Amino acid sequence: MDIPPVLPVPVDPAAKDAALRRAAQALEATFLAEMLNAAGLGAAREGLGGGGAGEDHFASFLSREHARIMVEGGGIGLSESIFNALKEQADDR
């Protein structure tokens, strides 16, 4: 039983590929942001130089922006692998 997609799939192959690539890049950026957070990027500094609660709240924005810029610069190649897998799956339909 095939479940129809919730969002309309673009008919134009170029638009379809662009949508798949954007989705793959967004997933890679999310992954990289989590890795940057785990590595301690944006962690509050100890002592007088720390930014307090405000710094803690906005650290995730910094991680996401760093990750987005990394992906725009080529990332770690994860988005390309995800794109190829999504494209292969979409072509099988």
Q: What are the tens digits of pLDDT across the range 12-21? A: 888 889 999 9
Do 19 and 26 meet the contact criterion of CB atoms below 8 Å apart?
no
Do 21 and 79 meet the contact criterion of CB atoms below 8 Å apart?
yes
- For residues 81 and 62, give the distance between their C-alpha atoms in angstroms, rounded to a whole number: 25
Mean pLDDT on 31-56: 75
The DSSP secondary-structure symbol of 49 reads: G
Instruction: Give pLDDT tens digits for 64-88.
Output: 999 999 999 999 999 999 999 988 9
Q: Give the per-residue pLDDT at 35.
A: 93
Instruction: Tell me the average pLDDT of the chain.
Output: 83
Reported pTM: 0.73
